[in-house]
């Protein structure tokens, strides 16, 4: 990979331009990071009002698999990435015929399918030291019956669709064989995995960035709190997890990235389970081949954000080891914040929130607030963990955010 330097012009007179498939908030923050370095940017996204399309130099308004749109993106850009894993892997494969694409179509394809993802985790467990929860694949009635007959130890469990499940969607908790059969029918009989429910004590995630040369840098693990399957609070500070457990999580995430030959920013999510050992057990849950909601705090609390590293990795620039300069708590802002208890639209009390010390508000430019829709996030930084927690609790109270008892 020959580095693509910001501000450079190629032999055809083309300004150094980085492209992204997808126009959501992750694409928007990627565009901001690329532009700050001096790159031009191009976004391929069908939504005319997309958050990333609003701020990019070029917005190609086509479907992700539109051949003309992909050809235009390849013509404009020197390297291309994706901002979410559910873009067609074939589109990335097409782009890779003429341009560097990071992460690769093959890796994104694995992340798009829970069956392949879990097989990958199991395959590299000997190296990473961490495996996934016990599970069974259900694609046919025969496999469903086999689970009911021979793998009753997987119940209670969570039935998850193999594809297109995120933020708690495509998931059903089941306690009995009858509930499992009903849930599979409710999900349309599509390919699924049944995952054994484990006694969780916490959830965490690790963000790493891996370059074309195999060099890896990473952030310390974040401890996450989910409400109804959606991330509500991220704790990012020293002491948020036992040190030995944090080290294991970090090493496992790096091993997974190496096993994939990954290039770009990768988030690996883990469950912490009670298993009687000194630090509890660690189980890998899933991976996201992109920057992640739990890493948004890096914009305000670190000298290099996850989006800065995404730009560096895809462009072949050196990967600096990021340093966190402030403890931080990130609060997710869903569309529910814009509605009062009667269901009427209201403007959140930003004046009071922004009067609090160390608050950093990020809204994503989405024009319509809806319940459950990610509209923005608020990061709180400060000189010490105690002050950060105090401010974060007050901000959560002002905005009536869930997860207050977890701050």
Question: Where is the binding site, in residues?
Answer: 114, 160, 165-171, 195-198, 203, 226, 285-286
Task: Give the containing element (helix H, strand E) for 392.
Answer: helix 385-399
Scan for tokens 């086999």, then name that residue: 146
The Cα 211–Cα 1 span in angstroms is: 10
Residues making up the annotated binding site for ATP are 114, 160, 165-171, 195-198, 203, 226, 285-286
Exposure string for 206-224, b = 16+ CB within 10 A, e = fewer: bbbbbbbeeebbbbbbbbb
Classify residue 187 by its DSSP letter. Answer: T
**Residue 328, SS3 per DSSP:** strand
The Cα 113–Cα 192 span in angstroms is: 9
CA–chain centroid gap for 3, Å, is 26
Written as six digits, the tokens of 174 are 């089941």
**Closest Cα to residue 311, out of 228, 182, 209, 172?**
209
**Closest Cα to residue 56, out of 37, 82, 30?**
30
The Cα 122–Cα 335 span in angstroms is: 37
């Amino acid at each position: 990979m020959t580095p693509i330097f910001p501000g450079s012009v190629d032999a055809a007179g083309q300004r150094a331009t980085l492209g992204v498939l997808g126009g959501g908030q992750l694409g928007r923050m990627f565009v901001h990071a690329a532009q700050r370095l001096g790159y031009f940017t191009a976004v391929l996204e069908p939504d005319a009002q997309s958050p990333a399309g609003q701020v990019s130099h070029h917005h190609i308004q086509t479907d992700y698999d539109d051949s003309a749109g992909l050809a235009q993106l390849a013509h404009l850009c020197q390297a291309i990435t994706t901002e979410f894993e559910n873009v067609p892997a074939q589109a990335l494969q097409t782009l890779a015929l003429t341009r560097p694409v990071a992460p690769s179509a093959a890796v994104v394809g694995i992340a798009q399918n829970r069956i392949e993802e879990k097989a990958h985790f199991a395959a590299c467990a000997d190296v990473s030291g961490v495996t996934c929860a016990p599970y069974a694949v259900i694609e046919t009635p025969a496999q469903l019956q086999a689970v009911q007959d021979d793998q009753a130890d997987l119940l209670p469990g969570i039935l998850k669709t193999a594809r297109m499940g995120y933020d708690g969607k495509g998931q059903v908790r089941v306690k009995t064989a009858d509930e499992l059969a009903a849930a599979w029918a409710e999900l349309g009989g599509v390919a699924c995995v049944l995952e054994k429910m484990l006694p969780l004590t916490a959830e965490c995630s690790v963000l790493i960035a891996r370059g074309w040369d195999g060099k890896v840098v990473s952030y310390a693990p974040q401890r996450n709190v989910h409400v109804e399957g959606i991330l509500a609070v991220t704790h990012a500070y020293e002491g948020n997890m036992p040190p030995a457990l944090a080290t294991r999580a970090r090493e496992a995430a790096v091993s997974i990235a190496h096993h994939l030959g990954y290039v770009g920013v990768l988030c690996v999510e883990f469950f912490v389970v009670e298993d009687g050992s000194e630090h509890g057990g660690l189980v890998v849950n899933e991976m996201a081949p992109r920057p992640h909601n739990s890493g948004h705090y890096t914009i305000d609390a670190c000298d290099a954000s996850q989006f800065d590293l995404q730009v560096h990795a895809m462009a072949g620039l050196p990967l600096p080891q990021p340093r966190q300069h402030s403890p931080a708590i990130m609060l997710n802002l869903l569309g529910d914040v814009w509605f009062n208890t009667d269901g009427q639209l209201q403007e959140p009390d930003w004046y009071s929130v922004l009067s609090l010390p160390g608050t950093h508000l990020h809204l994503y430019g989405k024009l319509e607030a809806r319940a459950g829709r990610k509209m923005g996030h608020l990061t709180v930084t400060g000189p010490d963990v105690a002050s950060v927690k105090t401010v974060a609790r007050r901000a959560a109270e002002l905005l009536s955010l869930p997860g207050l008892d977890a701050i």
